[in-house]
Structure 1
Amino acid sequence: MKRHKGMTWLALFFAFALVLAACSSGETGGEEGGGTEESNGQETEGSESTESSGSVEIFSWWTGAGEEAGLLALIDLFQEQHPEIEVVNAAVAGGAGTNAKAVLASRMQADDPPGTFQVHGGSELNDGWVAADKMEPLNDLFEAEGWMDKFPQDLIDLVSKDGNIYSVPVNIHRGNVIFYNTKVFEENGLEPPTTFDEFFAVAEELKKAGVTPLSLGDKEPWTATQILENVALGVLGPDKYNQLWSGELKFDSPEFREAVDIFNKMLTYINEDHAARNWQDAAQLVADGEAGMNIMGDWAKGYFTTDLELTANEDFGWIETPETDGEFMVITDTFGLPKNVENPDAVKQFLSFLGSVEAQDTFNPLKGSIPARIDADPSKYDEYGQETMEDFKDSVLTPSLAHGSAAPEGFLTQANQAVNVFVTQGDVDQLIQSLEDAASAHNMR
């Protein structure tokens, strides 16, 4: 990026009912099947040679402005291509995805799965529904559609377990981004920070100018967890960051303690009313020039441009979080094939469609995300999207803790709680011990 810029069902139910998912609805501003597939102007045969019929129920929490528009556009396009298949939009609103996940857990427990459902790639998929033996592998679909070189291998690994692929990635959001007010930076002669030392130097200058250096809205605690995970990525690098989740690196290691110390220092520069704000409210502070910087996933870009009607590189800029150049904290929404669905062939028709260039280039510009495929059409995306698409191809992909990809749901719930306490109390030892205890409790050690 450029400088301008298994478990028991009872446990499973409660884990999915409690989790907070951020890249989701309720968040305004952005944030596939058979037939034929268009790719770079050429038609290729899909995996299904015969048409299915019946209905497909699509379960998601995409009810916010951009994401709902994208979902409806997907459904309309699919129905044009497959009029014999009825699509039932079973989106559940509210709770930033929590409500939908509670309903989904109840249905899966009762052996009443939807045709397909939205799930974050990584642990949320693999340690949840795959480990519970509730998903069908999709290796044959990926092979038949020729997708093995259309998605990055790191991303395919994120939706795979024990050699099998279990879902189709539809979109990509990047989690390691600082958005900043360009006018505030220009007026104070500042450059966006690339290192932690530069970050704190910029923060000091903003503070002297009477501007809140870093905005935070942790009314829902995942936002603070997201800052911590990005600091950890910058301090540890991708390999050691991933070792936190595999158990090879403990939270009480000197390296992670360094990350917590930096995170703690960052929190001395946030707005006092952070606990009363959500992520949009925190982004609004940057838009209004009351704050200089905001660390957020790039759904914030959609909020700036769509909801607030700001212009990229005029009103706001962006850059990777400090010391994560060439690294990509990936958040991906995916859809798979649950076991015992009523119309599996029709569901596979829809999954095939979701994985196509045409579908991904229909959905993602409206959602504010970028496509999961690396051969999509850049001309359909704005400057930020084009730049992020290039970074996505060339960067090391790492899974987000805050958005359910890096660690089990139960661990994430406890981590969010521990981080929430830390933001107000600042006890480094307590946070580290809480995370290590949670890791042990959830078999990560």
Structure 2
Amino acid sequence: MGAHDDTLSRRTYLKTTGAAAAVGLGGLTGYLDAQSNTLEVQHWWTGGDGGRAISVLFEGFKQKYPDIKVNENPVAGGAGQNLHTVIKKRVLNNNPPSTWQDWPGQNLTPYTDAGVLKDIEQSVWNQGNMKSAYLEGPKRVAQPAGNYVTVPLNIHRLNNLFYNVEVVERAGVDPTSFSKPSDLLNAMRKVENNTDAAGMAHQTQSPWSTLQLWETELLARHGQQAYDQFVNGNVGAVESQVKDALEAVKGYRQYFNDDAGSVDWTQANSKIINGGAAFIHQGDWAAGMYRGQDGFEYEQHWNQVTYPGTDGMYSLVIDSFPFPKNNPSPDATTKFLRYVGSVDGQRRFNPKKGSIPPRTDVPRDAFGPFLRSQMDDFQNSRAQPPSTAHGLAVAPEQLTNVEGAISTFNSTWNVQRTFSQLQRAFQ
């Protein structure tokens, strides 16, 4: 997770790809005859949960298609940023890999604007019952420009509120009774009055944790309509709502851990494990750390509720695999993307990754109790808003600008100034 700055300049992109497009279909036909049976996949899952998850996905794929050679070409580091840079160069040079890990939704607009992603509705999405097995939110982000160009593999949820059970009990607080953000604020006050723990574990060293807390507050206080206005760039139309959510986050600041400015998110999250803080707002990847901690059990030592005010919503953070047009191995890539969208692929990958499948028909036996409860919430959700902080709701250039505004906020806590910057982010 984290920063994602290096965006694709659309003008350069279109210039470079215009020439390629002019070659037209005649050139492509000869090209398809010479297609390779080697599938080149680039991703950033090189260690931890992600590394384990992607290797079992490839194992399953190789069992199904033993004749396809998989050339795994990972690019580590930078929370995916290094991979974004590599892919951008390769696609610009008309030399894309077969497919790569990327956030779907608006994050893919530089590629859809340049016309370099293939419509895979017939070849992939209409195979079997794939389309009917996906809910509306994940299907929508697979079509950033109105047609299917990518396949979501996993879903991480953003609107979780995790807590240390012992700390909240000692403070006399019951998170399951929360219904609105002010309940959380009152609970943090109680925690700090009655225990020596911080109300909320948080990091302000990089902008994304505050950005995702703010976007969740906007949803909690003003609903999805206000959120949609914001991500569509109509920031002025929701000025009071945007500022209200900023004020709320500013109000939480007095309950952050004292070292919020010098720790990263994992160090902040470890305060939930060691009892140094009561609450943390994070995506469900935070639970991976709890799971890996001996003697720190779900429900007994840690638990979570849906972020107060966002009941019925499942905020989406998704990884997907797009299909580039100038593809070195179209047949092998089609088979791989069908597999990424299959019950078998998602059943293997997601329990190891600590995410849930975007398909709603994947058997639950391989998932632990926390992820099973998330699967229930997902299937019963009435809305699945795409995350801003993780690239689904806004284009890369805008995300960089929004992160700049939140960096300002992290250092000044000036609501008016931050709002002006957020407004400019879309201009």
* 1:256-290 superposed Cα distances (whole Å, 9 cap, x missing partner): 22111111111221112112211111110111100
- Structure 1 residues 111, 308: CA separation in 2 closer, same or farther (over 3 Å shift)? farther
- The alignment's TM-score, normalised by the length of structure 2, stands at 0.89
* 1:131 corresponds to which of 113, 121, 141: 113
Partner of 2:5: none
Taking the aligned partners of 1:226 and 1:251, their CA distance within structure 2 comes to 21
Cα offset, 1:7, TM superposition = 1.8
Provide the secondary structure at the position in 1 that maps to 2:418.
helix
Asked if 1:200 is matched to 2:185, the reply is yes
Partner of 2:32: none
Cα offset, 1:329, TM superposition = 0.8
Does the aligned pair in 1 maintain the 2:53–2:352 contact within 8 Å? yes
Does the aligned pair in 2 maintain the 1:182–1:313 contact within 8 Å? yes
Taking the aligned partners of 2:120 and 2:173, their CA distance within structure 1 comes to 49
* 1:89-130 superposed Cα distances (whole Å, 9 cap, x missing partner): 1111111111111111111111110110111121112x2222
Cα offset, 1:388, TM superposition = 0.8
Taking the aligned partners of 1:349 and 1:210, their CA distance within structure 2 comes to 55
Taking the aligned partners of 2:126 and 2:13, their CA distance within structure 1 comes to 36
Which protein is richer in helix relative to its size? 2
Does the aligned pair in 1 maintain the 2:229–2:238 contact within 8 Å? no
Partner of 1:165: 148
* 2:407 corresponds to which of 410, 420, 425: 420
Provide the secondary structure at the position in 2 that maps to 1:293.
strand
Does the aligned pair in 1 maintain the 2:314–2:384 contact within 8 Å? yes
Partner of 1:257: 243
1:72-151 alignment, distance < 5 Å: 72-125=55-108, 127-140=109-122, 141-151=124-134
Partner of 1:273: 259
Which protein is richer in strand relative to its size? 1
Provide the secondary structure at the position in 2 that maps to 1:178.
strand
- Structure 1 residues 423, 249: CA separation in 2 closer, same or farther (over 3 Å shift)? closer
Partner of 1:190: 173
Taking the aligned partners of 2:296 and 2:421, their CA distance within structure 1 comes to 40
- Structure 1 residues 309, 221: CA separation in 2 closer, same or farther (over 3 Å shift)? farther
The residue type paired with residue 174 of structure 2 is: E
Does the aligned pair in 1 maintain the 2:204–2:410 contact within 8 Å? no
Q: How many residues align?
A: 396
- Structure 1 residues 9, 307: CA separation in 2 closer, same or farther (over 3 Å shift)? farther
Does the aligned pair in 2 maintain the 1:251–1:257 contact within 8 Å? no
Taking the aligned partners of 1:230 and 1:86, their CA distance within structure 2 comes to 42
Cα offset, 1:348, TM superposition = 0.4
Provide the secondary structure at the position in 2 that maps to 1:407.
coil
* 1:374-395 superposed Cα distances (whole Å, 9 cap, x missing partner): 0011121111111111111121
Does the aligned pair in 2 maintain the 1:54–1:86 contact within 8 Å? yes
Partner of 1:220: 206
Taking the aligned partners of 2:363 and 2:295, their CA distance within structure 1 comes to 24
Taking the aligned partners of 2:112 and 2:96, their CA distance within structure 1 comes to 14
Taking the aligned partners of 1:382 and 1:12, their CA distance within structure 2 comes to 49
Quick one: percent identity of the two aligned structures? 28
Asked if 1:347 is matched to 2:333, the reply is yes
Taking the aligned partners of 2:11 and 2:36, their CA distance within structure 1 comes to 35
Partner of 1:9: 12
Taking the aligned partners of 2:295 and 2:118, their CA distance within structure 1 comes to 42
Taking the aligned partners of 2:88 and 2:315, their CA distance within structure 1 comes to 27
Provide the secondary structure at the position in 2 that maps to 1:214.
strand
Taking the aligned partners of 2:100 and 2:402, their CA distance within structure 1 comes to 25
Cα offset, 1:202, TM superposition = 0.6
- The alignment's TM-score, normalised by the length of structure 1, stands at 0.86
Partner of 1:399: 386
Does the aligned pair in 2 maintain the 1:252–1:433 contact within 8 Å? no
Taking the aligned partners of 2:290 and 2:179, their CA distance within structure 1 comes to 22
Does the aligned pair in 2 maintain the 1:251–1:432 contact within 8 Å? no
Cα offset, 1:144, TM superposition = 2.2
Taking the aligned partners of 1:379 and 1:145, their CA distance within structure 2 comes to 23
Taking the aligned partners of 1:12 and 1:229, their CA distance within structure 2 comes to 35
Provide the secondary structure at the position in 2 that maps to 1:68.
helix
* 1:358-377 superposed Cα distances (whole Å, 9 cap, x missing partner): 11010000000011100011
